[in-house]
A and B are shown apart, each in its own frame.
Chain A
Amino acid sequence: MNPLYIALYGYLPYIVVLIFVVGVIYRIVMWVNAKGLVGLYNANVCLYRDGWGTTTIEVLKRIFIFYTLPGRDKDQSLFIGSFLFHWGIWIALIGHLGIIIPGKYLESWFGLSPSLHHAIALYVGGTAGTIALVGLLILIIRRITGRTVTIKLVNEYKVRIPLTMLSFLDDYFAVAILLAIIVLGLSQTLGITPTNPMYIDEISNWMWSLVTFHPNVSTIVADPLLQVHALLAMIFIAYFPWSKMMHPFSFLFMPTIARPAIKVKSP
């Protein structure tokens, strides 16, 4: 077998995972270690949130329901695009667990029959991928074209959001690679049909071989689409910790959100 295949799909995944884990930990440690606060104190961006319970709810609401994005004077396309993209990606990522564990184990451990697994992969995975793609396309279009928000007072204030002016190579790189990963992943997912039931197992045998530290790339040799998808995903995973892609983790450490405010006690 071509040693490049073995290097790329047999050994590179370990390096990528290592870079990801070490990178994420490193970035978080850097955030935590930056102990200074502007003006020697912290001020919250939420009203009357001075307890840990309300603070935790705030963090979870921001991560999962994007509640600050929609509303008056906001660019609704950001909420729609972000909501669809992120939820699509999360569901798709959970679905990837189904191709890490081979079908025989899924059935014996979780009672998931191959036909049900295929149906879930096709319909749930396909829907999630489509949702993520639509969301990402909305986000890309708004980034390229910019947006205008109208604020209605006595006069109407048309506020231009010149996103091209404020976007740089790293912004475009992230969306471009995500777009390619999603398109390739989705085309494979939608290719899972009853006439090709072994498709998932081909991938899972490779993935499982990586999980069990016995890399075996032979099952994916004949699948160029998967190879490109996997390679791009590895590039993205390795890039993730060193970029703004870290933003989902920020909610847990952002001083303006993740800390309760100082409470005033009336005598």
Chain B
Amino acid sequence: MSFDRVFKERPFKWGNVSNFMHFMADEKLVSRLHEKIGHKQPMTDEEKVRYFKQRLLEEYENNKNVKMAVDVCVHCGLCLPACPTYIASGDPYNSPVGRADLIRAVIKSEKISGKLFGKAVGAVKKIDMEYLKKVYTYYWLCLICRRCGYACPFGVDQADVTRTVRAILYEIGMASRFTALTVDAHWKSGNNMNLTPGAVKSIIDFVVKEIKQEKGVELKVKIDEPAYALLLPSSADYFMNMETLKGYLLFLYAAGIDYTLSTKAAETANFGLFLHPKHLQGLAEKYVSIARELGVKLVIAGECGHAWRAHKNYTLPRLREYGIELVHIHHLVVKAIKEGKIKLNPEANGDIVYMYQDPCQYARGGDLTEEPRFILNHVAKKWVDPEHNRSWTWCCGGQGGNLTDEVVPLVAQYARLWYEEALKAGAQWVIRPCSICKAQLSHVVPYLNKWYNKELKYSGLMDLVYRALVV
């Protein structure tokens, strides 16, 4: 199978996963990205260490999430049995409190208590590039799934600390190659997959033909034209999740919504979320300016968890400044069903037992858990909820930049949790309406099916809507 070589080169060892350090982006790539956000990185190792400490203390003073996380955590350990990375790896550093302590040690070392009592209060004596590599390793293995934040009685969101620490590491030139390449592609081409405008148009032509063959209707899809709404599919939907893409197009046709696609934004993702706030902001601003250029009143986000988090919490407030609203495609499907605008036939999705598994960022920070279930009630005959549902959903294992090839043997372990959840309930097909989930599943499901001797399948939710739509 595709990742056999990685499994050999990087074997998973229970209790110590430090061998799964993400490959680092090279200097050229990091410099190009730094230019985008107007950052000049420190050069020597000594300068980098000093810069890291100084920026960490700055964030501790000025960033409410970080300050309160460090100040408030009482080491109760409740986040440990909530964290999929720890449950599946047994490595204490690969856990929320373990990661937090790696940087609390740095902050403590600069405080009076740390200077007086040193290691006894958790302060670290020597901070050098080796130490920063350890920080880098474990902070990039965090899934940013936010399960720890929901478990913490105080709401300490270690995922936010992760993002802050990653941002500082990036500023000194330490960034995961996969995420850096993805962000770079997004800046250059407007999407993660480097799709050209010509490719977008050809794929849409192809999809429209398929829809005609399968559903008997000929769609006219606007591309880069003024419309009421701008649809943002994931770039992966253009060639990996075509059924999902067909679902968007046919649904919008059936619901009578005037929309356009944009070749400048053949994407809904925002990997800036995993790398640096300024990249998150910059990429989100691209969406805002394209929506304004096209004169739309509504932006429709496609199926993608992290993108929805970035859109709901950052892009939406920015769009509102220009009188533009933003919704998820699922919101529109629910509305259309309630208003009787579309006809759905659940028989079309057969007698399969589906399981709905919430993508992390819909259920933790996205307020999007009931809408997909409402839709499933109308498009599937049989579906079940996992025991760990909604805010307690398991991450697919590929979030937070962990879709990268070199960590597949580890993230396949993370994925056991949701996979076993499906097996336990007797589900045959898992619905995960998220582009990262689907990509991660394409990596790990072949292995999981082999290990458990099962034939579990997966897809997005709009795939089922597509099949169920009567037009």
Min CB–CB distance A245 → chain B (angstroms): 9
Please encode chain A, from 142 to 178, with 1 for each CB lying within 8 Å of some chain B CB and 0 for all others.
0100010101011101011111011111110000000
* Interface residue? A224 (CB, 8 A): no
Contact among B65, B88, B325 for A255, CB-based, below 8 A: B65
Contact at B316–A264, with CB atoms within 8 Å? yes
Interface presence of A196 (CB below 8 A): no
A107 within 8 A of B: no
Does B364 touch A at the CB level, under 8 Å?
Answer: yes
User: Contacts A36-B64, A171-B75; is A74 near B163 (CB within 8 Å)?
Assistant: no
**Distance in Å: Cβ of A25 to nearest Cβ of chain B:** 15
Judging by beta carbons under 8 Å apart, are B316 and A256 in contact? no
CB-based contact B65/A256 at 8 Å: yes
Closest chain B CB from A85 CB (angstroms)? 12
B-side contacts of A39, CB under 8 Å: 160, 163, 273, 277, 280, 310, 313-314
Q: Is the interface of B mostly helix, strand, loop or mixed?
A: helix
Asked if A17 lies at the interface with its beta carbon under 8 angstroms from chain B, I say: no
**When each residue 29-47 of chain A gets 1 if its CB lies under 8 Å from chain B and 0 otherwise, what string results?**
0110011111111111101
Q: Which residue of B lies closest to A251 (CB)?
A: B154
Q: When chains A and B are docked, how far (Å) is the Cα of A39 from the Cα of B75? A: 25
Name which of A36, A74, A255 has the most chain B CB atoms within 10 A of its CB.
A36
Q: Which of the segments B145-153, B180-188, B345-353 contacts the partner chain?
A: B145-153
For A149, give its contact among B68, B81, B161, B392 (CB under 8 Å): B81
Interface size on A, residues (CB 8 A): 64
Q: Does B377 contact A (CB under 8 A)?
A: no
Q: Which of A62-70, A186-194, A214-222 faces chain B?
A: A62-70
Chain A interface residues toward B at CB < 8 A: 27, 30-31, 34-45, 47-48, 50, 62, 66, 68-69, 72-75, 78, 82, 143, 147, 149, 151, 153-155, 157, 159-163, 165-171, 244, 246-247, 250-251, 253-257, 261-262, 264-267
Q: Pick the contact of A45 from B68, B72, B317, B364 — CB < 8 Å?
A: B364
Any chain A CB within 8 A of the CB of B267? no
B316 to chain A: closest residue by CB: A262
User: In the complex, what's the smallest C-beta–C-beta distance from A123 to chain B, in angstroms?
Assistant: 31
Min CB distance A266 to B, Å, is 5
Chain A residues near B334 (CB, 8 Å)? 266
Residues of A within 8 A of B71 (CB): 27, 31, 244, 246, 250
List the interface of chain B (C-beta within 8 A of A).
59, 61-68, 71-78, 80-82, 86-88, 90, 92, 97-98, 101, 113, 117, 120-122, 146, 149-157, 160-161, 163-164, 273, 277, 280-281, 297-298, 309-310, 312-314, 316-317, 325-328, 331-332, 334-335, 363-365, 367, 369-370, 387-388, 390-392, 416-417, 420-421, 423-424, 452
A260 to chain B, nearest CB (A): 11
8 closest A-B pairs by beta carbon, nearest first, are A43-B365, A153-B420, A38-B160, A161-B77, A149-B81, A257-B155, A154-B420, A256-B155
Q: Are B317 and A69 in contact (CB under 8 A)?
A: no
Q: Which residues of B lie under 8 Å from residue A69 when comparing CB positions?
A: 78, 153
CB–CB B367/A48 < 8 A: yes
Interface of A, helix, strand, loop or mixed by DSSP? loop
Known: A171-B75, A262-B317. A250 touches B68 (CB 8 A): yes
Residues of B within 8 Å of A47, CB to CB, are 363, 367, 369, 390-391
Indicate if the CB atoms of A247 and B314 lie closer than 8 Å: no
- With A38-B163, A244-B71 already in contact, the answer to whether A153 and B421 are too (CB < 8 A) is yes
Q: Are A75 and B77 in contact (CB under 8 A)?
A: yes
Q: Which residues of B contact A251 (CB under 8 A)?
A: 154-155
Please give 5 more A-B residue pairs, beta carbons under 8 A apart, in addition to A38-B161, A262-B317. A31-B71, A163-B75, A166-B101, A250-B71, A265-B327
Of B61, B72, B273, which is within 8 A of A247 by CB? B72
Q: How far is the CB of A155 from chain B (nearest CB, A)?
A: 6
Set of chain A residues within 8 Å of B452, measured between Cβ atoms: 154
Whether the pair B312, A166 counts as a contact (CB closer than 8 A) is no
A192 to B47: give the CA distance in the assembly, Å.
64
Separation of A50 and B316 alpha carbons in the complex (Å) = 15
